[in-house]
């Protein structure tokens, strides 16, 4: 996996992003830190937002060491006041936001069932979490983190994209991070799948809603990538080998492997650049190694 400490070559360098301001939420994570780095290396001034302020600042410092203009800010995507404070800091230090990448999201174990199917006898098994045992509070947390965690930052930072007359400054856009779960839900994780489906639907809604003022809205739907959140589910801690679930995933991915974070960079830069994708609006781009195209037979 490529890290920010390694100088990776961008698949292409958009000429129209330099000097613009990008805001990336969830920027302390594996995927979004790489995406934030790509935006920074394309010449954008990047604000990295994360609930873990130290992680955001560490990533920003790595980018600064590479000659990029980046700042790290602690922010809670579910807290309007926290986001408003972050937005004020972005405006003061970098200027108004032109690109918002809504990358914050995640799942919770208590929104996950133990098994893929409910079978006779499961309701009597004390060691299983069935559909009937799912914690409504944690399901709400997962939905809020993914859906409201995209909606609230959009409410706050899209305002910086608008002129006094309500029109957007040229080239402004929003990119959400959805998931292949949004197209076809995975077993065991109903809360996360439903939340990402909401993100995809919200992306289309925003694209229509903002179309007259000139803000585009699209999404990237990653397939299976190893992250800090899913590493324990996909890699056995004792052996370091893929778990049974990971093996099933890879066997149903025609390319036969997990994705690498840098493989999301090309789609990101394409969607971010109004020169490259100026008439692309309301799409959800799968990046999944062919997972969705394979029926299993």
The tens digit of pLDDT for each residue in 260-280 reads 889 999 999 999 999 999 999
Residue 116 CB coordination number (10 Å): 11
pLDDT at 96 over 90: yes
- The Cα–Cα gap between 175 and 39 comes to 12
pLDDT at 234 over 60: yes
Domain spanning 21-227+271-287, CATH architecture: 3-Layer(aba) Sandwich (3.40)
- The Cα–Cα gap between 264 and 176 comes to 13
Please give the average per-residue pLDDT across 42-68, as a whole number: 97
Q: Which residues contact 200 (CB under 8 A, 6 or more apart)?
A: 176, 178, 182, 183, 219, 221, 284
User: What's the pLDDT band for 1 if we cut at 50, 70, 90?
Assistant: very low
pTM: 0.92
> Has 294 been annotated as catalytic?
no
The active-site residue, picked from 157, 192, 224, 258, is 192
- The Cα–Cα gap between 48 and 28 comes to 8
Sheet with 216-222, edge to edge strand ranges: 70-74, 45-50, 21-25, 99-102, 173-177, 216-222, 284-287
Phi, psi values for residue 79, rounded to 5°: -120, 110
- Mean pLDDT of the chain, nearest integer: 92
């Amino acid at each position: 996996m490529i890290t920010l400490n390694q100088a990776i070559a961008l698949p292409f360098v958009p000429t129209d992003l330099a000097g613009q301001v990008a805001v990336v939420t969830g920027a302390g994570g594996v995927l979004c830190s790489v995406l934030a780095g790509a935006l920074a290396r394309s010449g954008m001034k990047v604000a990295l937002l994360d609930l873990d302020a130290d992680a955001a600042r560490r990533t920003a410092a790595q980018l600064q060491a590479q000659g990029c203009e980046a700042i790290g800010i602690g922010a809670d995507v579910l807290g309007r006041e926290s986001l408003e404070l972050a937005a004020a800091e972005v405006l003061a230090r970098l200027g108004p936001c032109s690109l918002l990448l809504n990358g914050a999201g995640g799942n919770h174990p208590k929104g996950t069932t133990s098994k893929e199917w409910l079978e006779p006898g499961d309701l009597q098994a004390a060691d299983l979490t069935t559909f009937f045992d799912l914690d409504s509070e944690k399901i709400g947390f997962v939905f809020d983190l993914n859906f409201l965690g995209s909606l609230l930052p959009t409410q706050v930072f899209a305002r910086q994209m608008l002129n006094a007359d309500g029109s957007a400054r040229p080239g402004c856009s929003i990119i959400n991070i959805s998931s292949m779960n949004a197209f076809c839900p995975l077993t065991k994780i109903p809360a996360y799948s439903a939340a990402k489906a909401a993100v995809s639907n919200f992306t289309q809604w925003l694209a229509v809603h903002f179309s007259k003022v000139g803000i585009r809205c699209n999404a990237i739907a990653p397939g299976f990538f190893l992250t800090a959140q899913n590493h324990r589910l996909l890699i056995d801690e004792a052996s370091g080998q893929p778990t049974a679930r990971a093996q099933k995933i890879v066997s149903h991915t025609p390319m036969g492997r997990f994705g690498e974070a840098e493989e999301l960079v090309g789609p990101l830069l394409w969607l971010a650049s109004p020169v490259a994708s100026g008439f692309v609006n309301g799409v959800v781009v799968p990046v999944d190694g062919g997972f969705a195209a394979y029926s299993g037979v």
